[in-house]
Structure 1
């Protein structure tokens, strides 16, 4: 029997990836849509009626709740609060509630406690059919798990038609799943395995063609766990992508995630640049080699980190990087060492977090065995304390972290790094039609006013802008976008400091109370 399904994506709290202030200046609502949920939509029966609501864009209506027979909700761990509220509302309204996605897969007991009827876990290509079969049999509840990894060459194109494209900064697609490495704190290998599986070049080009025909012309984010996990297939795809992009005059700005060993294969870097990739996110984590060995991130120990970063940037890719504090055995001053490394490499945007033990990771299992976990689920929210007992005083770690985070996103420091980073970029850059719609012009005018007039950065802003325009004219658009991203971090650092200081005060009060009780 055809169903009426309401697909919901919960609200995101402010974080590194939310770009809340930057989006507001541009008149956009969200960084990117939920690729997993719109892929699940493509796996549902063709005769089902579907309504989709990304609650970061606009909330579903009460009429939507009354209309539907079934509610499907996906979420990441950072969305857990709204995720629980949506499950509870659906149950209270008498709707059947099915959930899936990375959070439900890692912590199924959370969704069960909230009242979800169906848990569609692991990868949807395997478990959505099991759910549909159970639904056809009239089963009222069920937990559906995969016994193998799906062949992603059979994955249907996502339902991009469900999206309000004008609301997003980027649209997401995926080439591969899985990562060959085994970093102790990472849950990717638990979710998707260590053997990267890739779509075919034909699949990828078909998805990009859909977006092209829909008129999309901003960022396309390949949200792979590690785009270069399968180097051979990545190169095959890139060689097919290059002529497609050239024929259409590079209609998209491409970005992705990759491991730092990308610097060991300059042919791969050059193919990425020639295909239209402009930015790559990399997990550097820390410049402390002992910590890298401790978390089994050996791929970051084979060559000097600064040299690897400079090679990638010089070849034409802007680096975004992830850094973490709180590893076992970490020595005092780690925050300052990370800050100094960021200044040395001139990386503008850095996802800098305190370490969290995510459920079912190797780190979680080790800390659980050592009885060092504390109440609460880990999250990548920058304003959250660690959910375990570290090997040095938590107050020391957090104060170092607050100081480093504050300095990294001090406006003059950010402008200086961004300028130096773009000056270092000497790689090939194809002639492309950069988007210059209403959102881009709004952001650029806001930049001129904020950074070029209101702030003390005004003189630095104008002379750097003139130098980039003269020496790197093809990078000018990307340079201005990078400066625009800084507006989010200039604001967000205040929130991070306030949140962590409040939590530290709670820790101190708890210790005082424990001392009084003793």
Structure 2
């Protein structure tokens, strides 16, 4: 069996980092870990080719070569997913689809694909293989059980075009113990975090090392510290591995804010060369946190928690949401104030979305407030450039106006430099002893461009040099990391204009069609068309 694995195109999002990737001559931030894990689970006597369409299109030779086409996607990749299914069917190729989008709303792709491989592949891929061996030409494969991830094989990293990626992905755990109403992670993967064993993950790192990888690794767990006991066992083994290999990898991950309450865990992460963590803060408004059942963020001061994480040596990235029920006017301004005060350089802001089958979805459905229906949930592809897909408790025009203004304010160049500077002044120094690496030409070129743009060309020039020399004087161990994060605003400066333009356009359309008194689903369809 010759299998062509295709990863559909992402629209430009907060995490696209296009401008930064251009600077270092790379195409994509992260690889499709799901697809290379699928390739590892399927029979290894099968042949595989993988095309990440975020890097390049599928060639005619690859289409011709394939006996079977397998795709996976998130909701935001829907448009290109359906286009690639149609391309495969036009060529007479059988198509199998899996992943979080198909699992959440299988009805949207059921008519397009021959096979639906849903839920967790460790369980449903063997069912699919059995059906193929029986000669079945279609089928849906599901399981309510959660996989034992300690049996998951090492992903097929060899199938990737490694040079095109800025970082690699590994996964240690699935699931999260919390109950946030808006989150679909607990719907897809459950509330009991399941982990691999340390030796298993180290084998994945061994394989990446053998393939020559020497850059960043993102631990893609939605809450890396969901099972703290097992995470500490991993970190103990990982520290030894990093020392033996002279720290070839720099790690970052996602975690809940209660990380700040465990100093030992933070120290162990920094010892393993973790240098950044994404935190789901959502809002500084405690009433909204309680309403959305994010109780773990109400147990201690959020600003003090962020401060502890920074001082331990982990740069915070954080997610924020506006549009919660009962939210008072000025929510976005309160987010800006919190982000500046806490010193969080990278703050991802979004308007609340009701994702399929979440607690929020079911509640809004009962209340008749959804602007989407079960037959076409993803007509509203959720990212930072879309209006809300439900009727909020305050005017959507007000929320959207706050959102646009907040995005523009957060990534105003002077403000971003000040926030980044304040963070890095107190950022704990790395404790790992990494050997000196001669800078590559592409990195020197990127450095020169950043110095030209931020230190000479723009009005930020004096602040850029003042802050850089301040970091070199007061916290010299983090100056390279600091410059890298300064460079990130090259992406956000452009992306805030995209957010402004697209949200403004949707608002104008919303105002035009709102008076037509369309049913909610038709209203959303008109706005997002």
TM over 0.5: yes
Match of 1:247 among 239, 244, 250: 244
Cα contact 1:358–1:379 (8 A) shared by 2: no
User: Distance between the aligned counterparts of 2:130 and 2:190, measured in 1?
Assistant: 26
Aligned pair in 2 of structure 1 residues 129, 439: CA closer, same or farther (>3 Å)? farther
The alpha-carbon deviation at position 282 of structure 1 amounts to: 0.6
- Aligned to 2:183, what secondary structure does the other structure show? coil
Q: Which string of whole-angstrom CA distances, capped at 9 and with x for unpartnered residues, describes residues 126-174 of structure 1?
A: 0100000001111111110123111111100010101111111110000
1:494 counterpart residue number: 497
The alpha-carbon deviation at position 325 of structure 1 amounts to: 0.7
Matched, 1:510 2:513: yes
User: Distance between the aligned counterparts of 2:477 and 2:62, measured in 1?
Assistant: 46
The alpha-carbon deviation at position 472 of structure 1 amounts to: 2.2
Ranges in structure 2 where 5+ consecutive residues have no aligned partner:
519-529
Match of 1:389 among 385, 391, 400: 391
- Aligned to 1:17, what secondary structure does the other structure show? coil
2:32 counterpart residue number: 34
1:116 counterpart residue number: 113
Q: TM-score, normalised to structure 1's length? A: 0.97
1:413 counterpart residue number: 415
Matched, 1:484 2:514: no
Counterparts of 1:13-52 in structure 2, within 5 Å, are: 13-52=11-50
The alpha-carbon deviation at position 67 of structure 1 amounts to: 1.3
1:459 counterpart residue number: 462
User: Distance between the aligned counterparts of 1:240 and 1:431, measured in 2?
Assistant: 17
Q: Which string of whole-angstrom CA distances, capped at 9 and with x for unpartnered residues, describes residues 334-365 of structure 1?
A: 01000100001110111111111110111111
Cα contact 1:291–1:327 (8 A) shared by 2: yes
2:449 counterpart residue number: 446
- Aligned to 2:316, what secondary structure does the other structure show? strand
Q: Which string of whole-angstrom CA distances, capped at 9 and with x for unpartnered residues, describes residues 102-130 of structure 1?
A: 111111111113x1010101111001000
User: Distance between the aligned counterparts of 1:76 and 1:511, measured in 2?
Assistant: 29
1:368 counterpart residue number: 365
Q: Which string of whole-angstrom CA distances, capped at 9 and with x for unpartnered residues, describes residues 23-72 of structure 1?
A: 11221100010101000011111111111000111111011111111000
The alpha-carbon deviation at position 211 of structure 1 amounts to: 1.2
- Aligned to 1:366, what secondary structure does the other structure show? helix
Matched, 1:203 2:206: no
Please tell me the root mean square deviation across aligned C-alpha atoms, in Å: 1.3
1:311 counterpart residue number: 308
The alpha-carbon deviation at position 388 of structure 1 amounts to: 0.5
Match of 2:227 among 227, 230, 238: 230
Aligned pair in 2 of structure 1 residues 146, 433: CA closer, same or farther (>3 Å)? farther
User: Distance between the aligned counterparts of 1:302 and 1:185, measured in 2?
Assistant: 19
Cα contact 1:6–1:71 (8 A) shared by 2: yes
1:425 counterpart residue number: 427
User: Distance between the aligned counterparts of 2:509 and 2:363, measured in 1?
Assistant: 27
Match of 1:5 among 3, 6, 30: 3
User: Distance between the aligned counterparts of 2:470 and 2:213, measured in 1?
Assistant: 31
1:147 counterpart residue number: 144
Ranges in structure 1 where 5+ consecutive residues have no aligned partner:
none
The alpha-carbon deviation at position 454 of structure 1 amounts to: 1.3
The alpha-carbon deviation at position 433 of structure 1 amounts to: 4.1
User: Distance between the aligned counterparts of 1:434 and 1:135, measured in 2?
Assistant: 51
Q: Which string of whole-angstrom CA distances, capped at 9 and with x for unpartnered residues, describes residues 374-411 of structure 1?
A: 13525441110000010100000000010011000111
Cα contact 2:275–2:430 (8 A) shared by 1: no
1:129 counterpart residue number: 126
- Aligned to 1:53, what secondary structure does the other structure show? strand
- Aligned to 2:259, what secondary structure does the other structure show? helix
User: Distance between the aligned counterparts of 2:382 and 2:429, measured in 1?
Assistant: 33
Range 17-26 or range 178-187, more displaced:
17-26
User: Distance between the aligned counterparts of 2:398 and 2:115, measured in 1?
Assistant: 44
Q: Which string of whole-angstrom CA distances, capped at 9 and with x for unpartnered residues, describes residues 184-209 of structure 1?
A: 00000111111101111101111111
User: Distance between the aligned counterparts of 2:258 and 2:381, measured in 1?
Assistant: 26
User: Distance between the aligned counterparts of 1:443 and 1:501, measured in 2?
Assistant: 33
Range 43-52 or range 435-444, more displaced:
435-444
The alpha-carbon deviation at position 464 of structure 1 amounts to: 1.2
Match of 1:339 among 336, 342, 345: 336
1:185 counterpart residue number: 182
User: Distance between the aligned counterparts of 1:294 and 1:102, measured in 2?
Assistant: 26
User: Distance between the aligned counterparts of 2:144 and 2:389, measured in 1?
Assistant: 31
User: Distance between the aligned counterparts of 1:36 and 1:510, measured in 2?
Assistant: 40
1:217 counterpart residue number: 214
The alpha-carbon deviation at position 474 of structure 1 amounts to: 2.1
User: Distance between the aligned counterparts of 2:506 and 2:162, measured in 1?
Assistant: 38
The alpha-carbon deviation at position 213 of structure 1 amounts to: 2.0
The alpha-carbon deviation at position 513 of structure 1 amounts to: 4.4
Cα contact 1:326–1:355 (8 A) shared by 2: yes
User: Distance between the aligned counterparts of 1:259 and 1:438, measured in 2?
Assistant: 38
- Aligned to 1:112, what secondary structure does the other structure show? coil
Q: TM-score, normalised to structure 2's length? A: 0.95
The alpha-carbon deviation at position 426 of structure 1 amounts to: 2.5
User: Distance between the aligned counterparts of 2:350 and 2:138, measured in 1?
Assistant: 38
The alpha-carbon deviation at position 427 of structure 1 amounts to: 4.4
User: Distance between the aligned counterparts of 2:498 and 2:297, measured in 1?
Assistant: 31
Match of 2:478 among 475, 494, 515: 475
2:159 counterpart residue number: 162
User: Distance between the aligned counterparts of 2:231 and 2:312, measured in 1?
Assistant: 18
